[in-house]
Every structure is written in structure tokens, then in C-alpha cells.
Structure 1
Amino acid sequence: MTDKVIENNQVVIMGEIVSDFTFSHEIFGEGFYMVDVRVERLSDSMDNIPLMVSERLIDVNGDYKGMYIVVNGQFRSYNRHEERKNKLVLSVFAREIEFVDEICENTKSNQIYLDGYICKEPIYRKTPLGREIADLLLAVNRPYGKSDYIPCICWGRNARFANGFEVGSRCAVWGRIQSREYMKKLTEEQLERRVAYEVSVSKLELIED
């Protein structure tokens, strides 16, 4: 049963470590640390993806900046309480890490597969230039009764298709993890630059339970 649940959330990213490790939390004496991995897109832009790593998987005291890694894991979420409300925090949870000399060009360096349930009404809209977009929130089951809540964004005909999904529908998506900067309005005069993470969907389908 556990293996089946793990299969419903699969991530592979390849990229360059661009930060030091910072402590996140500890569970049953096992420390977990965060590090940023820069992953190239085919469009020559970059995504900076937060990676959560166990201290039992790698020496978190080492300096790995500039080194290239291949990570197999899962896209995880948790709620952090701030400013009197909960904030959804997303990261890739590393299950396996391999150091490599380089990332080959045109390699699929950022892939994700999710099998979960629609937990909010899809939000469909068009950009000023007429591009169709739909936002989904997918609840992906984890062992021991937990779930990860993963925001997904669909484009074009996928957006039109997703707009018809009902809450509770089971859905499979394939795509990549992307980072997106935005400005958060704190007060009338104060803005703060923040980064959101989501799955950019290249393929999706409904699953009949």
C-alpha cells in the first residue's frame, strides 16, 4: 500500500546547487535541511526549486554550491502559520540524490507526475492576449493519512478541459515544477517580492476510480 501511495507523487529534477543548507525541522531525531537547486528550462530561463534533504542522505555541513545533482523524490506541502493565516509551503522532498559532472543539454531536467483529487473549483481565465489558463489545487495522498496540496496551472486546451473538472474528481497530471516571482502588497505603500511554486501541466487526464 505504501509503495502504491509513493507512486502517485514522483519528481525528478536535475540542476545546480546554488545555496547552503539551512535547518528546517527534526522528526524522531532525524534532521531535515533546505537547499536551493537551479534548474534550467528549455527557454533558457531558470527555476529555483527548494529541496528538502535528510541529514542521513548527505553531509549537510558541506559546501556543494556549483555542483550538479539529480534528485528523485516527491513534491510536498505543509501549512506554515504567518500573519494570522496559513501559508502553503512547497518543496521537493529528496528520496535519492546523485552527483553528476554536468547536465546534458535538451535533457528533461524537470519532470513530475501526480495522481490526486481536485479539492477546489478550478479557476479558468484568459490573459489580456487571449491565452487560456486554469488553476487547479490537487490533493495527493501520502502514507499515514496525510495529503500534499499541490497548485497546478494548465494552458490552452488543457485549461479548457480542466475547467470542467468537479471537486472530488481524481486526476493525473504530468508536467514540471516552476518558480514564479510576484509582488505581495503588505500595506498601501509597502510591497514585498515573493516566490510561488506550482506545477506547469503539459498533460492531464481524469481517472475513473
Structure 2
Amino acid sequence: MENVQLQGTVLDENRCETNKAVLQGVVLTELKFSHKSYGESFYLFEVGIGRKSGYRDEIKIVISERLIWDIAINAGARVKIEGQIRTYNEENEGKSRLNIVVFARGVTLVGEQDSEPDENYIYLDGFLCKPPIRRTSPLGRELCDIMLAVNRMYNKSDYIPCIAWGRNATYAGGLEVGTKLSIIGRIQSREYKKRDAEGNILNRIAYEVSILKIEE
């Protein structure tokens, strides 16, 4: 987690892609219709991916009907997902909120007999689009929040929040807007509390990429 520089051999494996996600875990929810685009239906479900600490990240997956016509994606099944992180703004009660999902480009059922560990791998190549925000955790550890703009087809971009720790935070905190970055990390879910206009405390879930390695 403290490495700032990436080895060239690691980067070379990803140079052909700017946004790559490989996840493996257990399906937590049944398929739910999400939306339709150009006559193609898409569905939403969540995958739980364990960390070494014992915490489980719960990640939203969007998948096309074309990928699951012969696969039963049911709660409790173990799956491997290959795809990309996608972001979009959702209007709710007059306010815009950034939604973050993994858009599946491939899915495989993983049998329990394979006993493969959970996997959470993210590679991003994009541009720093907001000034970094440095802060300190309650335990005194240095953190830095950055927003990475990752281009995709049809002149669209995904704006992906990322968080760096320790020496990576120190490094990221000194970067300028417009800097081109390559990042390896994991997508994580984080619960937090927010007070609404009436003073009620609401439980929210934030999604971000926890940076393991970073390079200009």
C-alpha cells in the first residue's frame, strides 16, 4: 500500500486499457432490472468481496441480458466479473449524486470446489480533474482524496473518486490538475452518516478506489 512507483512490467500488462476491473466474490442480491438501451436490457446485482481484515465490500454490478441468458446469477453463487468502473449522476429529491458501478463485460460462475480466494483488482489510466484533498484519519494516518477522469468511447468520461494512504497520499497531494496518472487498487464500499435538511441522521454508502500503487 505504501509503494508510490509502479514497475514497468505491471503497467505494460494494462497499457491497452484505461479502465479494467476484475472482481471475484459471492452474489448478495437477486438480479433487478436496471434499464434498457437500444433494445438491450440491463440488470443490477451486488457482489460481496472479502478483505484480509474481515470486512466485506459490497459492489454494485450492472450486466447485460446477453451475458446471462444461459447463466443463473442467484444470491449465494460465486462469480468472477471482468469489466470496467462506470459512473453516472442520479437526481434524487432535487440533488445530484454520483453513482459508481462495475459494468460487466464478462461473467463466470466459480464453483466452491475451486476454493479460489476473493479478488478485487482495479486498473485506471486517466487525468486528475480536481485539486487533491489531503486530510488525516481519526487514527492519525495521512489520506488524500483525488478525482480521476477516465476517457471511454463516444467522447464520454467516467469521474472516479480514489483515495490514497500514507506515502501515496503525500505523493498524490502534490499533484496538479491535469496530471495523467496510472493507478492500481481495489474498489471499496464505505458506510458513513449524513445529516439531512431536517436534522435526521441517514446511513449512506460511498464507493471509491483505494490506491495501492500510483504513477504519473
Given the two structures, how large is their TM-score scaled by the length of structure 2?
Answer: 0.88
| Residue of structure 1 in register with 2:41 after alignment | 31
Aligned counterpart in structure 2 of residue 97 of structure 1, from 89, 95, 107: 107
- Verify the 8 A CA contact 1:33 1:60 in the aligned structure 2: no
Which structure has more RCO (C-alpha within 8 Å, separation ≥ 6)?
2
Q: Give the deviation of 1:86 after TM superposition.
A: 1.5
Whole-angstrom CA distance in 2 between matches of 1:74 and 1:8: 9
Q: Which moved more, 1:65-74 or 1:179-188?
A: 179-188
Q: Give the deviation of 1:129 after TM superposition.
A: 2.8
Identity %: 48
- Does 2:204 correspond to 1:194? yes
3-state SS of paired residue (1:57): helix
- Verify the 8 A CA contact 2:121 2:185 in the aligned structure 1: yes
3-state SS of paired residue (1:24): strand
Structure 1 runs (4+) deviating above 3 angstroms are: 59-63
Query: Taking structure 1 as reference, are residues 59 and 184 closer, same or farther at Cα in structure 2, changes over 3 Å only?
Result: farther
Paired residues in the alignment total 202
The correspondence of residues 29-68 of structure 1 with structure 2, limited to 5 A, is 29-59=39-69, 64-68=74-78
| Residue of structure 1 in register with 2:29 after alignment | 19
Whole-angstrom CA distance in 2 between matches of 1:145 and 1:11: 21
3-state SS of paired residue (2:171): helix
Query: Taking structure 1 as reference, are residues 125 and 137 closer, same or farther at Cα in structure 2, changes over 3 Å only?
Result: same
Q: What residue ranges of structure 1 are gaps of 5+ in the alignment?
A: none
Q: What residue ranges of structure 2 are gaps of 5+ in the alignment?
A: 1-13
3-state SS of paired residue (2:62): strand
Q: Give the deviation of 1:184 after TM superposition.
A: 1.8
**AA at the equivalent of 1:81:** E
Q: Give the deviation of 1:149 after TM superposition.
A: 0.6
Whole-angstrom CA distance in 1 between matches of 2:58 and 2:138: 27
Query: Taking structure 1 as reference, are residues 108 and 166 closer, same or farther at Cα in structure 2, changes over 3 Å only?
Result: farther
**AA at the equivalent of 1:30:** E
Whole-angstrom CA distance in 2 between matches of 1:73 and 1:25: 18
**AA at the equivalent of 2:79:** I
Whole-angstrom CA distance in 2 between matches of 1:189 and 1:167: 35
Whole-angstrom CA distance in 2 between matches of 1:182 and 1:114: 25
- Verify the 8 A CA contact 1:32 1:54 in the aligned structure 2: yes
